[in-house]
Amino acid sequence: MTDPAALLLALRHADGTFPSGGFAFSQGLEARAALADDFGPFDLAAFLADQVLRRWAGADRVALVRAHRAAADLDRVATVDAEVEASTASEPLRAGSRRNGLAFLTAHRRLGTPGAEAYHRRIREGMAPGHVAVVQGLLWARLGLDETTASAMGGHVAVIGPATAAIRLGLVGAIEAQTAIATVTADLAAVCRRPIADGQPFSAFLPVVEIACARHATGDLRLFSN
């Protein structure tokens, strides 16, 4: 990446200060940390590695890239979106992804990003669920960010979100969190280099986190939405 304009565009859109709603979701981290007695002590680096390798690599990233490729045709984007809906077994993660997607889209509608208004209309009409990875792929493509860049941005956001949640929950210090993020960066980069076939199905396997999420969703004491 040498073009500073492209780099700056990517940085802005993947930045933690971009209003996306992502801060309200821990992606199962709060739930997993609360189950230390049953499943052993919480370890941020291990949690992030699981997120990247067992969920993001095979599911969210594939959805993002397929939506990115389909960005010119909202019918095709909606098909990818429907597949995400059907393949995400965990209700709290599925609902969270939809709410996060809608919030992200809300910022882009106000900003006038091409495609945002039209895709929002589909969600409103019940024609698309609006999962965040799909909306990221669609809008980042429409903003002119290439597939590899968009994929890396999605991975970055997927790691930063739970890491920030861990800091806010007091599980790790802000500097310590950077160490954990650094340990998964190589994994993230390797995953981003893996080719994705057109129509590649989604796969994710994180049973402990999904069980924890299911318990968290019915608990009356939680700070994060999932």
Partner 1 sequence: MDVAISPSKTVPTRLGAARVGIGGPVGSGKTALVERLIPALAERGVSLAVVTNDLVTAEDAERIRRSGLIDPARVVAVEAGACPHTVIREDPTLNIAAADDLEAAFPDLDLILIESGGDNLASTFSLDLVDWWMFVIDVAGGDDIPRKKGPGVIRCDLLVVNKIDLAPHVGVDLERMTREADAVRSGRPIALTVCRDGDGIDAVIDHICRDVLLR
CA distance 9 to 144: 9
Measured in whole angstroms, the distance separating CA 48 from the mean position of its chain's CA atoms is: 12
Q: 78 vs 141, which CB is nearer to partner 1?
A: 141
Using CB under 8 A as the binding rule, whether residue 54 contacts partner 1 is answered as no
Cα of first residue to Cα of last residue in the chain, in angstroms, is 35
Which residue in the set 175, 186, 197, 221 belongs to the binding site for partner 1 (CB under 8 A)? 221
Using CB under 8 A as the binding rule, whether residue 6 contacts partner 1 is answered as yes
Number of residues that bind partner 1 (CB under 8 A): 40
Query: What character string, x for contact with partner 1 (CB under 8 A) and - otherwise, covers 130-159?
Result: -------------xxxx--x----------
Which sign, positive or negative, has the C-alpha torsion 17, 111, 85, 99?
positive
Full DSSP string of 108-171: HHHHT-TTHHHHHHHHHTTS----HHHHHHHHHHHTT--HHHHHHHHHHHHHHHHHHHHHHTTS
Query: What character string, x for contact with partner 1 (CB under 8 A) and - otherwise, covers 98-117?
Result: -x--xxx-xx--xxxx----
**16-46 as b/e: b if 16+ CB within 10 A:** eeeebbbbbbbbbbbbbbbbeeeeeebbbbe
Q: 58 vs 130, which CB is nearer to partner 1?
A: 130
Using CB under 8 A as the binding rule, whether residue 95 contacts partner 1 is answered as no
Q: 57 vs 166, which CB is nearer to partner 1?
A: 166
Least gap, CB of 201 to partner 1 (angstroms): 29
Q: 102 vs 204, which CB is nearer to partner 1?
A: 102
Query: At a CB cut-off of 8 Å and minimum separation 6, what does 43 contact?
Result: none
Least gap, CB of 38 to partner 1 (angstroms): 22
List contacts with partner 1 (CB under 8 A). 3, 5-6, 8-9, 17, 19-26, 99, 102-104, 106-107, 110-113, 124, 143-146, 149, 165, 168-169, 219-225
